[in-house]
Amino acid sequence: MKKKEFLSFHEISQNISFAINNNLTNNPQNWPEEWKIVNYNKYPRFPLLKATNNVSINNRLIDVLHERKSFQKNEKNVLLTSAELFTILKHSLGLKNDKKELNQRVYPSAGARFPIECYLIINKMEEIQQGLYHFDIVNDGLNILLEKNLTDEITKIFGEKFKNSQVLLILTSVIDRNYIKYGERAYRFSLIESGHAMQNICLLSTALQIPMTPIGGFVDSKLIRLLDLEKEREFPIYCCAFL
């Protein structure tokens, strides 16, 4: 696939009619039977090498992996503090040491090209103004891009379900950072790397008991406009809501 083909595929894949305010997908009672069946590959005619007792890992990681879940609501009304938000950002996406080496980060990236960037829409936090922010990994803080109530934009981009979220986090890819090295494989790497970063965010949110949900269904064109991106240079891949 040439660059213009994967950009064109990315454009085609922006169909999210299945996600935003869709009465069929949003309501499991309306789901067809085949959506309810969850499969995995089975090899019934092959012998099974049964798992032995697990080694004991004396830290919280295993618990956190099992506790992780996507929340539908913030039932306990947990308020996200700025200290918690910065902790999640730094340890999910940030630089690994104090030397500020850009190629040393907490998540892996093919060839250390790091195409992923992170933006935040702050909607309801006590300590941070409503608006649009960019996570600055070097200065370990948020670049304030726009101070504004963006609840309407959140509803249009992510649907009614997320309009009361405290924060929406957006991972984008600046595709040329890895395209110059990996050519057509760059698109694949960007998708994989956003998954690495998002898993870190999932696990840290779990460890801090902050209800969150990953979001793959959003209106790309409206989000690109809000972030003021040149869409063939940088595009949103994966988002999440801190509910």
Ligand X SMILES: Cc1cc2nc3c(=O)[nH]c(=O)nc-3n(C[C@H](O)[C@H](O)[C@H](O)COP(=O)(O)O)c2cc1C
Distance of CA 17 to the CA centre of its chain: 20
* Least spacing, CB of residue 33 vs ligand X, in Å: 17
H or E element that contains 204: helix 186-207
* Least spacing, CB of residue 4 vs ligand X, in Å: 25
Of 94 and 217, nearer to ligand X (C-beta) is: 217
Q: DSSP secondary-structure letter at 105? A: B
The answer to whether 236 contacts ligand X (rule: CB under 6 A) is no
The answer to whether 201 contacts ligand X (rule: CB under 6 A) is no
Neighbouring C-alpha atoms within 13 Å toward the C-beta of 128: 25
Residues 169, 213, 227, 229: which binds ligand X (CB under 6 A)?
Answer: 213
Amino acid identity at 102? L
* Contact string (CB under 6 A) for ligand X, positions 19-38, x = contact: x-------------------
Residues 157, 186, 215, 227: which binds ligand X (CB under 6 A)?
Answer: 215
* Least spacing, CB of residue 193 vs ligand X, in Å: 14
Residues 69, 96, 100, 222: which binds ligand X (CB under 6 A)?
Answer: 69
Q: Rounded CA gap, 236 and 117, in Å?
A: 9
Q: Rounded CA gap, 194 and 185, in Å?
A: 15
Q: DSSP secondary-structure letter at 160? A: G
Of 40 and 43, nearer to ligand X (C-beta) is: 40
Contact 133, 194 (CB under 8 A): no
Residue with the closest Cβ to ligand X?
216
The answer to whether 217 contacts ligand X (rule: CB under 6 A) is yes
Residue with token string 């690994």: 96
Residues 13, 70, 103, 129: which binds ligand X (CB under 6 A)?
Answer: 70
Of 74 and 137, nearer to ligand X (C-beta) is: 74
H or E element that contains 155: helix 151-158
Distance of CA 220 to the CA centre of its chain: 14
The answer to whether 173 contacts ligand X (rule: CB under 6 A) is no
The answer to whether 94 contacts ligand X (rule: CB under 6 A) is no
Of 142 and 166, nearer to ligand X (C-beta) is: 166
Q: Rounded CA gap, 137 and 190, in Å?
A: 18
Q: DSSP secondary-structure letter at 149? A: -
The answer to whether 214 contacts ligand X (rule: CB under 6 A) is yes
Question: Beta partners for 122?
Answer: 131, 167
Of 141 and 214, nearer to ligand X (C-beta) is: 214
Residues that bind ligand X (CB under 6 A): 19, 69-70, 213-217
